[in-house]
Amino acid sequence: MQKSLRRATLVSAIVVVAATATVPATMASAAAACAPAWSSTATYVKDNVASQSGHNYTAKWWTQNESPATHSGQWDVWIDNGVCGGTTPPTTPPTTPPTTPPTTPPTTPPTTPPTTTPPGTSGKNVVGYFAQWGVYQRQYFVKNLVTSGSAAKLSHILYAFGNTTGGQCTIGDSYADYDMAYTAANSVDGVADTWDAGALRGSFNQLRKLKKQYPNIKIIWSFGGWTWSGGFTQAAANPTAFANSCYNLVKDSRWADVFDGIDIDWEYPNACGLSCDASGPAAYNNVITALRNKFGSNFLITSAITADGSNGGKLDVADYASGIAKLNLVFPMTYDYFGAFAAQGPTAPHSPLTSYTGIPQAGFYSDAAIQKLKSKGVPANKILLGIGFYGRGWTGVTQAAPGGTATGAAPGTYEAGIEDYKVLKNSCPPTGTVAGTSYAKCGSNWWSYDTPSTIAGKMTYAKNQGLAGAFFWEFSGDTTNGELISAIKNNL
């Protein structure tokens, strides 16, 4: 699967929320008595205690509907404090009244409660890629997330991409990232950038401003992608050095407050993408482990991975499960399965949810990848379903249904064979559906892409599978009023 210049292409965000939680703020103690029983409908914040099945558990961060008994691993939200004696009904007040401050004061709480629900509610994550280069020809800025209504629907933003030059985390485009000067007109808060010494500009400063307006959004810096994954081979040779370089870059004092996490988009470990890697099956886990050890448990670490569900395919040649165990969320790229990179066809939907009669390659569909990950022991509540905000298409096609021959890639605004949803919905409306997605035949062109209707169906699938939510590539393909992100948000 590929997407040039892309590519690309949280479990609860690790935050302390205001002390307006809906459960008593009982603090951890050495007492053997059981804390109030855990409730699936209650909201817990850092240091809240609950009991379940004869054990006391302490929350590490904000959580709701995540059972302590099954979410108390090293990287999970609950700490198992061991066996407790006696059960206290949840309606019974704690021994220490909630107004009693904790022994160790928390970090300064917000002066007002958050106006939006903290991200990470199980199954409700909405994660979008912001393409670094979109500020150029596309003229898509962070401000567009606000004007389209997308920001209000997001839990996380993946900023794509940082580079991996020389096996290190490096800046991908310094001008777009932190130097480009924004006018008042295209700035998130209507204030133009300054040229004062040390002033942060570029998309990083715009993301900082966005976070001030939407403090619930978590921003994750993604490294690699289709074009910039070559350095991961060197990173795998010295994971500790790679992790140190990433830490130093992401935590750079100029923008440390902007990023809540790091994402690894390695295309592909022990397999071929734009370049080939032969680091071995353990390399992916080694890199992720080094990052977790360096960044610690309170920083988000995520990863975009292959969605090849075929037998012996990319998901089978690397030990993804061990690496994912250290992640907060994982993004199998369930799009780009088929496209005009096979210029003569057969025509096929690039993001099929299920298999269908005549699919060109077995295992190249979303459900195959999800089931394979589950079979390897990856928890469903870490997996997000991927959605493309674009279509892939061919030209020289005579057959309306999938499976036809073609003469090459259909014309696209920025790249042959690819077009934004916002264009296709008008230029080549859907003429049919297959495998949970839509296709369109207009003239001699044949396109496949997702619509609000097919996204609604995919979100029903995500809920039925117990997934953590959905992610998408990328914001600028949507309409100016956010049709596709609304379909995701409204149907999760």
Q: What is the pLDDT of residues 143-159, one digit of tens each?
A: 999 999 999 999 999 99
* 27: pLDDT strictly greater than 50: no
pTM of the predicted structure, to 2 decimals: 0.77
Cα-based distances in Å from 447 to 6, 344, 453, 476: 19, 14, 16, 19
Local confidence band at 47 (pLDDT 50, 70, 90 cut-offs)? confident
267 is catalytic: yes
C-alpha angle with apex 444: 443 to 450, nearest 5 degrees? 80
> So what's the pLDDT on residue 78?
78
User: Residues of CATH 3.20.20.80 domain(s) within the chain?
Assistant: 125-491
Amino acid at 222: S
Bridge-based pairing of strands 156-162 and 125-131 is: parallel
Query: 239-250 and 283-295 are packed helices; what angle lies between their axes, rounded to 10 degrees?
Result: 40
Rg of the chain, C-alpha, whole Å: 23
The catalytically annotated residue of 267, 415, 419, 474 is 267
> 348-365, pLDDT tens digit by residue?
999 999 999 999 999 999
CATH 2.10.10.20 in the chain, residue ranges: 18-113
Q: Name the residue type at position 259.
A: F
Whether the CA torsion 175, 181, 187, 191 is positive or negative: it is: positive
Contacts of 140 by beta carbon, 8 Å cutoff, 6+ apart: 131, 134, 475, 476
Residue 412 or residue 89, greater confidence: 412
Under 8 Å between Cβ of 369 and 454: no
Classify 125-491 by CATH class. Answer: alpha beta
CATH T-level fold of 18-113: Seminal Fluid Protein  PDC-109 (Domain B) (2.10.10)
Confidence bin at 69 (pLDDT 50/70/90): confident
Contacts (Cβ under 8 Å, ≥6 apart) of 206: 141, 142, 143, 182, 187, 188
Helix orientation angle between 366-375 and 452-464, rounded to the nearest 10 degrees: 20
pLDDT tens track for 365-403: 999 999 999 999 999 999 999 999 999 999 999 999 999
Model confidence at 344: pLDDT above 60: yes
Residue 15's pLDDT is: 31
- pLDDT single digits (tens) 426-452: 999 999 999 999 999 999 999 999 999
